[in-house]
């Protein structure tokens, strides 16, 4: 069985959607940022600060090759820049979670752990820069995706149900 890969901007809810899909199916989930943190035994924020972004992107490439070779039937949530790996479509069915920047920013800001949610994301330190990155990436996410799901204003169970239904049609 093919993997499902969730892509989308920081804070759009890839992790929450992944947990909901796990609830609604018998799939097991993994997250590329978690894999990188355990490979390196340190947090993403530390990796960016000590080694820089290029080093982190190289780790994403390594994880992408491993996923393609070794992982199947798994729900994979990804960091917001993971979609740029050259073999993305070889890993599984790519699902883009889409929402306007304002909704994503509000979601992060109003989260009970808003401070730590922002602090752990090196590319979300400056709102103008984050918005620019969003605008650059939005068309690229769309182009990389097999399935686009607009998540704005929807409950998690509805989003997860929609993804499972569309992926099954696509298979
Ligand atoms: C990044 C998103 C982060 C994390 C890293 C870089 C990005 O993941 O991989 O900070 O380039 O958009 P989330 O999308 O889970 O915040």
- Higher local confidence (pLDDT), 91 or 170: 91
Atom 3 in ligand 1: residue holding the nearest Cα: 79
Atom 1 in ligand 1: residue holding the nearest Cα: 80
Atom 15 in ligand 1: residue holding the nearest Cα: 79
Residue 9 has pLDDT above 80, yes or no: yes
Residue 171 has pLDDT above 80, yes or no: no
Mean pLDDT of 132-141: 98
Backbone angles phi, psi at 116, to 5 degrees: -75, -30
Q: Share the mean pLDDT of the chain.
A: 96
What is Dmax (Cα atoms) for the chain? 44
pLDDT at residue 88, as a whole number: 98
Atom 9 in ligand 1: residue holding the nearest Cα: 79
The region that residue 11 occupies, defined by phi over 0 for left and psi between -120 and 50 for alpha, beta otherwise, is left
- Ligand 1 neighbour 92 (Cβ under 6 A): no
Least confident residue range of 18-32, 45-59, 68-82, 111-125:
111-125
pLDDT at residue 65, as a whole number: 98
Share of the chain above pLDDT 90, in %: 92
Quote the strand ranges of 8-160, DSSP E. Answer: 28-31, 74-77, 92-98, 147-150
pTM of the predicted model over 0.95: yes
Residue 72 has pLDDT above 80, yes or no: yes
Distance 80 CA to ligand 1 centre (A): 4
Distance 73 CA to ligand 1 centre (A): 23
Integer-rounded Cα Rg, in Å, for the chain is 15
pLDDT at residue 41, as a whole number: 98
Mean pLDDT of 43-56: 97
Ligand 1 atom showing the smallest separation from residue 9 Cα = 14
- Ligand 1 neighbour 13 (Cβ under 6 A): no
**Nearby residues of 111 by Cβ (< 8 Å), 6 or more positions away:** 117
Distance 33 CA to ligand 1 centre (A): 8
Instruction: Report the alpha-carbon distance of residue 123 to residue 126 in Å, rounded.
Output: 7
Mean pLDDT of 14-29: 96
Mean pLDDT of 20-39: 97
Atom 5 in ligand 1: residue holding the nearest Cα: 79
């Amino acid at each position: 069985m093919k993997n499902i890969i969730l892509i989308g901007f920081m804070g759009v809810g890839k992790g929450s959607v992944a947990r909901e899909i796990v609830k609604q199916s018998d799939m097991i989930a993994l997250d590329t940022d978690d894999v990188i943190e355990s490979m390196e035994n340190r947090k993403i924020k530390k990796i960016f600060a000590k080694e820089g972004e290029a080093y982190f992107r190289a780790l994403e490439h390594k994880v992408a090759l491993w996923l393609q070779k070794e992982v199947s039937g798994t729900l994979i949530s990804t960091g917001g820049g993971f979609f740029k790996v050259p073999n993305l479509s070889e890993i599984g069915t790519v699902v883009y979670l889409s929402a306007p920047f304002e909704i994503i920013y509000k979601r992060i800001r109003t989260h009970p752990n808003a401070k730590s949610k922002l602090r752990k994301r090196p590319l979300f330190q400056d709102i103008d820069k984050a918005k620019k990155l969003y605008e650059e990436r939005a068309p690229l996410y769309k182009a990389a995706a097999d399935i686009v799901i607009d998540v704005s204003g929807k409950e998690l169970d509805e989003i997860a149900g929609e993804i499972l239904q569309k992926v099954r049609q696509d298979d």
